[in-house]
With several copies, the nearest count.
Chain A
Amino acid sequence: MKRAFPIFGLLTLALLSFALYEALIAAPTERTMGDVQRIFYYHVPSAWTAFLLFLINFVASVVYLIKRNPAADAVAAVTAEVGVIFCTVVLVTGPIWARPVWGIWWTWDMRLTLTLVLWLIYVSYLVLRRFSSSSQTPLIAAVLAVFGAVDVPLVYFSIWYFRTQHPSPVMGRGGSLDPRMLHVLLINWAAFLCFAFLVCWSRYRLERLEREVEETQALEALLEPRGVR
């Protein structure tokens, strides 16, 4: 177990660099957009990864509410953090891409808006975690996570119907996408998934360690002669 971590780390590193090569060099240049389009290989995978992590967060939270086991809470905390990071990447690469391609930084296209709202929800989740007093944090956070997850489909529908005057700018899926591009995209996504997993893993271990330390400290506090009142 202890050894598995660094090994996996190396693998991820290799995969990432390969993906980088694929994305920047191997992948064919997009006709109309030119090289800017290559940002696509980071944009989309991070989006998908973020969504996946938020999903895990939801599951973990539900598990915590039922079983009340701290491990689930740790998982929820970690996935939320990393998810928000990847979501931020999407929100940054998006506009960077949008600027040259559409000539504007931001539009209220449904996908963009959805990402933004998701980001808001899970940032508020993190804020809550930091602000609530320790003993109840897991419970309250889990509850909020459920609220957030339940909210997502509603957000989706509302935005889907919202301001339809703005045509969705994102180029069609599948068919129009050059298979080589798709290939690179998938490699990148795989790399991102490994990377995300790696980060989550280490954060998770850290989380657990902190809690163990607290436990032991508390036990010592029990043994030591009563301190000042």
Chain B
Amino acid sequence: MSTPTITQATLTKDLRLEWRSKDAINSMLFFALLVVVIFSFSFNPTAEESRQIAGGLIWVAFLFAAVVALNQTWARELRNQVLDAYRISPAPANALFLAKAIGNFVFVSVLEALMTPLFIVFYTLRALGPAWQLIPIAALGTWALVVNGTFFAAMSIRTRSREIMLPLLLFPISIPALLAMVEATSAILTGEASARFWIVLLAVYDLVFTTVSLLLFESILHAE
């Protein structure tokens, strides 16, 4: 009943199920294409301009795709009230939270992996700064979105009109993270400034909110 084993069990279970019905992934891919295409129509930029806005572009797209995914996080547990089965079991609450968060992290990362090349192609992006830094930025940024998203999705289970609730809770809290991601990305794309400060900020953000979530999730899960 140690947290890691339960986490792993839950995670594999979720991933297997998602894989069987490629529902979520598909809708997200669909969505991703939509976003990229509509932007590529909205204007076709010179390499220079696109560098200016690409950071914001990419991350806004990711943010909203993430919301779509996060809204489905707990759907499966609510059907047949399976969540109750977890609540009466001695398994630690945090294991469930971690599993869900990691699961979402995987999804959104996959999505990002799908979208990024599209963006690069459509906007002929070329990073003038140290491109490799984009990877830690993406990882940290995604986790920032996902850890809070998962938690708030769990909270909005207990509220009316869930789907709209999640962004209402998530967006304000995520503003600093979003700023950091966008600024860091553009800093690297344009190569004008260093992204170090933003990366540190992201790391701190992740650290803080992961801790808070782990501290408080149990009370949320067992809230009647």
Contact = CB atoms under 8 A, between A and B. Distances in A.
Chains A and B in contact, CB within 8 Å: yes
A50 to B, nearest CB: 16
Given A131-B21, A146-B216, 8 more contacts: A116-B37, A120-B33, A131-B23, A143-B155, A147-B173, A150-B208, A158-B179, A163-B44
The secondary-structure label for the interface of chain B is helix
Contacts of B151: 147
Contact of B172 (A117, A130, A158, A161): A117
B30 to A, nearest CB: 6
Nearest to A155: B176
Given A108-B46, A154-B208, A158-B179, A131 B159 contact: yes
A147 B168 CA distance: 14
B37 A128 contact: no
Contacts of A124: 30, 168-169, 171-172
Interface string B52-84: 000000000000000000000000000000000
Most chain-A CB neighbours within 10 Å: which of B40, B148, B165, B223? B223
A131 B179 contact: no
Interface of A: 65, 105-106, 108, 116-117, 120-121, 123-124, 127-128, 130-133, 135-136, 139-140, 143-144, 146-148, 150-151, 154-155, 157-159, 161-163
B169 A128 contact: yes
A112 B158 CA distance: 34
A140 B220 CA distance: 7
Given A127-B30, A128-B169, A140 B37 contact: no
Nearest to A133: B158
Q: Main SS of the interface on chain A?
A: helix
Nearest to B222: A139
Contacts of B216: 65, 143, 146
A123 B172 CA distance: 9
16 contacts: A65-B216, A105-B121, A106-B122, A120-B34, A127-B26, A127-B165, A128-B159, A131-B21, A139-B223, A147-B173, A150-B212, A151-B172, A154-B204, A154-B205, A155-B175, A162-B183
B137 to A, nearest CB: 14
Contacts of B160: 131-133
B89 interface: no
Contact of B179 (A128, A144, A162): A162
Nearest to A162: B179
Contacts of A143: 155, 216, 219-220
Interface centre among A130, A146, A154 (most CB of B within 10 A): A154
Contacts of B34: 120
